[in-house]
């Protein structure tokens, strides 16, 4: 029993440290800068059971954080996620079905974000900045 005590203490300390550093909370920052800017490389649609819980799907983004660090992020899209397209100086409201691979997007994350690989979080807002080359013509 005494042999197990230090082991249990070390496990407890490890778990506390992991929970303290593995989860950050983001919300739309004061400067209006996105938490992640990047290109959508994959879209995964949710199953019917998951959609019933307002989760429409996920997008995988290859991009950069504001601190210029390259990342891969898996972002959950819910029914509450606002999706817009930049049109000049204004924004046009779009929907989940308008998200396509190769789009350049700004993502504003809501709530906790897991600092794992890939980074995981839920989008509060997505702003489409550019269309894929083939759609511009």
What number is the average pLDDT over the span 93-121? Answer: 90
Choose among 99, 124, 95: nearest CA to 109. Answer: 124
Q: Give how many domains the chain has, as a whole number.
A: 1
Place of tokens 């807002």: 125
**In this structure, is residue 37 part of a structural domain?**
yes
| pLDDT the model gives residue 70 | 84
Segments forming the whole domain that contains residue 54: 24-136
Per DSSP, the three-state class of 41 is strand
Choose among 93, 130, 106: nearest CA to 26. Answer: 106
Residue 66 to residue 79: CA distance in whole angstroms: 26
**In this structure, is residue 13 part of a structural domain?**
no
| pLDDT the model gives residue 117 | 85
**In this structure, is residue 116 part of a structural domain?**
yes
**In this structure, is residue 12 part of a structural domain?**
no
pTM equals 0.70
């Amino acid at each position: 029993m005494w042999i197990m005590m230090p082991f249990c203490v070390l496990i407890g300390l490890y778990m506390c440290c992991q929970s303290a550093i593995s989860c950050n909370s983001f919300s739309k920052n004061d400067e209006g800068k996105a938490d992640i800017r990047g290109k959508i490389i994959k879209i995964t649609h949710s199953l019917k059971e998951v959609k019933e819980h307002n989760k429409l799907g996920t997008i995988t983004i290859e991009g950069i954080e504001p601190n210029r660090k390259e990342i891969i992020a898996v972002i959950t899209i819910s029914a509450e996620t606002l999706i817009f397209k930049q049109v000049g100086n204004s924004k046009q409201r779009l929907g989940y079905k308008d998200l396509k691979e190769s789009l350049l997007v700004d993502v504003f994350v809501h709530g906790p974000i897991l600092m794992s690989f890939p980074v995981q979080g839920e989008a509060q807002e997505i702003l489409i900045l550019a269309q894929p080359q083939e759609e511009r013509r």
